[in-house]
Structures are given as C-alpha cells and as structure tokens.
Amino acid sequence: MIKELIIKMFTSVLMIGILHQCIGHVYIQNTYHINQYKVLRAQAIRTDIGVTRLDCAAECTRDLTCWAVNYNPKDGVCEHVSYGEFPVPESAKFVDAGWYSMAVTAPRDCEDWFNRGIRKSGSYVIQPNLNLPPFHIYCNMADNGWSVIQRRIDGTVSFYDKIWDEYKNGFGDLNGEFWLGNEKIHELVTLNDYKIRFDLHHPNGTWYYSIHENFRISNETENYKAYIGSFLEGTAGAQALSMRNREFSTNDRDNDSNGKVHCAQSLNGGGWWYSRCGATRLNGKYNSEGVLTEQPRSGISWSTDMDKFLNKGEKPSLLQTMISIKRHKKNNS
C-alpha cells in the first residue's frame, strides 16, 4: 500500500532519459524512479557526501528501511529516506534546484544483484513483487547468482521437528542453515520462470548436483504444491521428479500421497513434497556420521541411487545440501 503510493508518486514524472543516461547498462531498468523534487530533507536517516548517483541508489537497496533517496550531483550528496515517512505529505514535498529524488526498489532475485556487479555470496535484500515487502535472502554468487531457498551445513539448526507455520514463514540463519519459507519461495517463482538446483554433499566427500527446469510452487491454499520440469543436467540424477505435483507436508500436516503413513512424522523427515513416502527428504533429521539410520530414525536422503557410493552396506545421509533457483535463460533473456 505504502509502496504503491510512493511508486505512483515518483512515476508520475518519471524521466526515462535521465534513467538511461545515468544508470546505463549496468543497472536494471525500472529500478529507479527519478523525480525532480526533494522530499523530507530534515528526516533523512543517513547522508553520504561525494558519492555517485549510482552508488547512492545502490546503497539504499542494501538497506531494508531505505525506500528512496535525495541526490544532489553538485557535491554528490546522497540522503536516504525511510519508508516510515511515506506517504509523503504535500507540505513536505518541494522542488529544490539541483536535487533529484529517486524511489528505489530492490532487485527481484540474486541474479539481479549479480548483474549489478555483486560477486560475494551472502545475505542480500530482494523484492520479487513490488506489491509485497522486500526481504533478505542468501545469494550464492557462483554461476551468475543463485537464490538459495534451503541450506544445510552441520546440523546446527533442527529441520525435522519444525511445523507448518515455521516452514511457511522460514527459519534458521541466512548465513548458516535455513529454510527460506514457502511464502517467499512462492512469491519468488510466481512472476518469472525458474530452474531449480540441488547441491548434495555425500559422506564419500563428493558434491553431486541436479538441475531441473520450470520449478514453481502454488500458494498455501493448495498446500504449496510443487511443479518440477524436465531434468536439465547434473550428477545426482532426476530424483526431483518425485516431488512433481506433490503437496507440502510437515510434522503437523499430512498432505502426502500415502494414505496409511504420515511421511514427515514417521520418517523424522521434516517438511517436504513427499510421494509415498519415497527416498527423498532433504529436511530430514541431521546425522553427523553421514549414515541413514532406522533406530532412531534419522538422515538426509536423496535417492537410493546414491547408496552405491558408500561402503559397509550403510545408507548415506547427506552432510550438506543447498537448494537454489535461478531464472531460466531460455524464457528470460
């Protein structure tokens, strides 16, 4: 609501010429809405001097509380304005010679950050849908920027006992182990076509991976049902197809395809798109030995195909996993 008002306000006098001239090919169009007046000078939450217009706007996108900037090219003065000050009252809005104000929106995903020149993996603010608030996500900047929706590293965060609402809203630490949250995943994959990548660290020391096209999940009303397209490439096989058309289940919600068993609960498998129940559960109970066990039930499992890599007849429990998504170039040039 607030965001819509500010966008409307700024776009009413959008100056495309300046946008192209100043932003050039490095930044993404539609990110900056430039206006020739200045807002709320007295209430700037931060002021930088001697910066470029580009850096001024870029710095704003890194801060969740910054929704607009005032910029004066003469001395490179950059004022950050907080969303808390909007909608801007007419009395506070005035034309000031030499100043420009820009409403700034965050990138829609990690690839947009990569295209802005960011190369360091870490937590960044994105805003896939301009009508919804921006949020933080972990970006893996390898291979042009993947938006990470799940990460397991060492068992610090417990996944198997989390309930529906926790999987819905996300949990964990973005710089460590986490589940981004089904609402955010749904928001991310709804407006563009995404491919999905699974990175799996087997206890034999090898990383395996698998990429499928056309990944999306429906909304909560449809239990975040998963849609998975064709296998594109990878060393971990097409096991993700087991998730195709499956609804999400958790400890406290049984939406799987097995009428007799509550897969998430009985396998200590955590929230997942179970079939009947299948071998795949990347949110299962962590086993630091790297072994899938029955008593007690624990393990992070992908596919029976991966069993052959272990000795001693033991079944492997993955030691690290990462699930990430990126826009599919075929459909989004």
Window contacting Ca ion (CB under 5 A); options: 11-19, 163-171, 181-189, 248-256: 248-256
Tell whether residue 254 is a contact of Ca ion (CB under 5 A): yes
User: Listing from the earlier edge strand, what are the strands of the sheet with 32-35?
Assistant: 32-35, 100-104, 66-72, 77-82, 46-48
State how far the Cα of 181 lies from the Cα of 52, in Å rounded to an integer.
36
Among 36, 115, 192, 258, the residue binding Ca ion under the rule CB under 5 A is 258
Q: Which two tokens stand for residue 62?
A: 């890194």
Comparison of 160 and 208: residue with beta carbon closer to Ca ion: 160
Q: 83-122 burial, b if ≥16 CB within 10 A, otherwise e?
A: bebbebeeeeeeeeeebbbbbbbbbbbbbbbbebebeebe
Which residues share a beta bridge with 35?
101
**Size of site (CB under 5 A) for Ca ion:** 4
State how far the Cα of 251 lies from the Cα of 160, in Å rounded to an integer.
8
Q: In the range 65-104, which residues lie near Ca ion by CB under 5 A?
A: none
State how far the Cα of 30 lies from the Cα of 54, in Å rounded to an integer.
14
Rounded to a whole number of angstroms, the minimum distance from the CB of residue 252 to Ca ion is: 13
Window contacting Ca ion (CB under 5 A); options: 4-12, 31-39, 187-195, 247-255: 247-255
* Backbone CA torsion sign across 150, 154, 160, 166: negative
State how far the Cα of 201 lies from the Cα of 318, in Å rounded to an integer.
6
Start-end of H helices in 245-319: 263-266
Among 100, 140, 256, 318, the residue binding Ca ion under the rule CB under 5 A is 256
Comparison of 36 and 265: residue with beta carbon closer to Ca ion: 265
Window contacting Ca ion (CB under 5 A); options: 11-19, 58-66, 251-259, 312-320: 251-259
Rounded to a whole number of angstroms, the minimum distance from the CB of residue 179 to Ca ion is: 21
Window contacting Ca ion (CB under 5 A); options: 57-65, 157-165, 236-244, 256-264: 256-264
Comparison of 276 and 330: residue with beta carbon closer to Ca ion: 276
Comparison of 85 and 256: residue with beta carbon closer to Ca ion: 256
Comparison of 109 and 256: residue with beta carbon closer to Ca ion: 256
Comparison of 192 and 258: residue with beta carbon closer to Ca ion: 258
Rounded to a whole number of angstroms, the minimum distance from the CB of residue 259 to Ca ion is: 6
Strands (E), 127-251: 135-140, 146-152, 171-172, 178-179, 194-201, 207-217, 226-227, 231-234
Comparison of 210 and 275: residue with beta carbon closer to Ca ion: 275
HSE of 196, CA atoms in CB hemisphere, 13 A: 25
Rounded to a whole number of angstroms, the minimum distance from the CB of residue 173 to Ca ion is: 31
Window contacting Ca ion (CB under 5 A); options: 39-47, 64-72, 252-260, 296-304: 252-260
Look up tokens 């034999």; give the residue: 204
Interacting residues toward Ca ion by CB under 5 A: 254, 256, 258, 262
